[in-house]
């Protein structure tokens, strides 16, 4: 009898973990990603971006935010990237910026990305984007520049 009870507890725990993982996976999804043109039209779906080039890359997403007014909702967009020196020589390794995204039926949607206007603005390495709602990270997506 004890073995049956232990089995049931273990089984219930496994099912609970799978359910929680599945729900969390459905809270946000990437709808497209890759290299874009100046009109923000997707040219190529890829996570590998040419480094040291003039290039525009990013992704579009949908995320559940538990806000049901058909309006806009403030999220934080972040980017961590290899060091880039600005025109005055100051190092830059990324940013965090609040942005308003469209919301409909509790789902925020939008696109985030980076536009390298000069070759030196796209050094090789990992470029990690994230979108968060307060302290809750909704999604993270990375590109490799090489």
Per-residue pLDDT of the chain (146 residues; tens, 9 = 90+): 565 545 445 554 454 444 333 334 458 999 999 999 999 999 999 999 999 999 999 999 999 998 887 789 999 999 999 999 988 999 999 999 999 999 998 999 999 999 999 999 999 999 999 999 999 999 999 999 99
pTM to 2 decimal places: 0.79
Residues in the chain: 146
What was the pLDDT predicted at 26? 59
What is the distance, to the nearest Å, from the Cα of residue 85 to the centroid of all Cα atoms in its chain? 24
Cα–Cα separations (whole angstroms), residue 99 to 37, 109, 123, 131, 141: 22, 11, 25, 10, 17
3-class DSSP state of 87 = coil
Which pLDDT does position 52 carry in this prediction? 97
Sheet strands (E) in the chain = 28-36, 42-44, 48-49, 55-64, 72-85, 91-104, 107-116, 125-133, 136-145
Residue ranges per domain, the chain? Answer: 28-145
Report the chain's C-alpha Rg in angstroms.
Answer: 20
Helix/strand/coil for 70: coil
Quickly name the fold that domain 28-145 has. Immunoglobulin-like (2.60.40)
Question: Encoding tokens for residue 136?
Answer: 């809750």
Residue 5 buriedness (CB in 10 A; 0-12 / 13-18 / 19+): exposed
């Amino acid at each position: 009898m004890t073995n049956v009870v232990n089995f049931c507890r273990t089984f219930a725990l496994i099912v609970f973990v799978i359910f929680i993982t599945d729900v969390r996976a459905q809270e946000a999804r990437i709808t497209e990603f890759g290299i874009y043109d100046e009109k923000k039209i997707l040219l190529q779906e890829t996570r590998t971006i040419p480094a040291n080039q003039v290039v525009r890359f990013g992704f579009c997403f949908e995320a559940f935010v538990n806000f049901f007014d058909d309006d806009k909702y403030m999220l934080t967009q972040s980017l961590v990237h290899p060091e880039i020196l600005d025109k005055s020589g100051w190092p830059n390794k990324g940013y965090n910026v609040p942005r308003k995204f469209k919301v409909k039926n509790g789902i925020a949607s939008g696109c985030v990305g980076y536009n390298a206007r000069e070759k030196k603005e796209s050094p090789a390495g990992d470029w990690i984007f994230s979108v968060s709602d307060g302290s809750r990270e909704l999604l993270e997506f990375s590109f490799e520049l090489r």
